[in-house]
Amino acid sequence: MIIIDRILDMQALMRRCRREGKTIGFVPTMGYLHEGHAALIDRAREENDVVVVSIFVNPLQFGPNEDFARYPRDFARDRRIAEQHGADVLFHPEAGEMYPGPLTVQAVVKARTDVLCGRSRPGHFDGVATVLIKLFNIVMPDRAYFGRKDAQQVAVVDGLIRDFNFPIELVPVPTVREADGLAKSSRNVYLSPQERREAPALYQALQAAAAAVEGGERSAAAIRRLVREQIEAHTNAEIDYVDVCSYPDLAPLAVLEGTVIIAIAVRFASARLIDNLILELPKAPRQEE
């Protein structure tokens, strides 16, 4: 596995790969890799000639009171995991390499951000979009791999690729979970032992919602209420949001139909956790005028 920390070196290697007719799969990460990231790398390995993993904790996507400084970092561990799962190139730039001076142009995401995490994290997805534009131009991938746990991010990336005509296939990969259902996350290390015992209740609440939908419930308000009650009954976490939206356009719904996301975010003492389920439902019949 090759490790590169300079943009020009990365671009030169990628141009050579493209001249040789090789397909490039890209897994952008902020590091502290876990089984969820490994699943992305595995999928990229199956589908491409060259697999690139980036590790860059992007300061633009953290708010002033968020955890940029203490975000977990362990490059030696990340390097080992990436190599074990078949990555060919590890791109690991410093912040000064990615942002050598003040930006003269920065992306502003206009849609799909006023709900879910975007509502309480203003500017977050602008930072995500800006760094991804840079990374896509540096790596020049054929396919980019993202986990569905961050479903709003996947929706924003979908719009980014379409709007800017990147010749990239977006490949969403299902959420990887612990044995008790908790979604894998780098921030899980922040949980206290008691919080870790409570955290599986998030997925259990989503499963209860899915069961209610399977039983015929179509009221978004009823589903939101059910999920809130489940989380409040089994955790001491503060609920940030419980939302029911269409997907991927993330429009709020009153009645569940079509592709629907049930998404949650909660705050424990030192960790904010997110999770979601995406359901495919028949469209409701339209009344004749």
| 70 belongs to an annotated ligand binding site | no
Q: Does 9 belong to an annotated binding site?
A: no
What residue has token string 């953290």? 62
Annotated binding residue at 33? yes
The verdict on whether residue 149 carries a ligand-binding annotation is: yes
* Spatial separation of the C-alpha atoms in residues 139 and 215, rounded to whole Å: 46
37 in catalytic set: yes
- 120 annotated among ligand-binding-site residues: no
Coil/strand/helix, residue 279:
strand
Does 96 show up as a binding residue in the annotation?
no
Please check whether residue 284 is in contact with residue 220, taking contact to mean a CB–CB distance below 8 angstroms: no
35 assigned binding-site residue: yes
> 110 among the known binding-site residues?
no
Burial classification of residue 218, based on how many CB atoms lie within 10 Å of its CB (0-12 exposed, 13-18 middle, 19 or more buried): middle
Residue 267 marked ligand-binding: no
Structural tokens at position 96: 């000064």
Check 37, 85, 92, 124 and give the catalytic one. Answer: 37
Is 273 assigned to a binding site? no
**48-49-55 Cα angle (round to 5):** 75
Kindly calculate the radius of gyration of the chain based on its CA atoms and give it in whole angstroms. 20
Residue among 60, 48, 149 at smallest CA distance from 98: 60
How far, in Å, CA of 280 to CA of 257, rounded? 8
Task: Confirm whether residue 247 is marked as ligand binding.
Answer: no
Tokens of 145: 């791999």
Distance separating alpha carbons of residues 166 and 134, to the nearest angstrom: 12
**Annotated binding site: which residue ranges?**
30-37, 61, 147-150, 153, 176, 184-187
**Annotated binding site for beta-alanine: which residue ranges?**
61
Q: Which residues are catalytic?
A: 37
**Annotated binding site for ATP: which residue ranges?**
30-37, 147-150, 176, 184-187
**Annotated binding site for (R)-pantoate: which residue ranges?**
61, 153
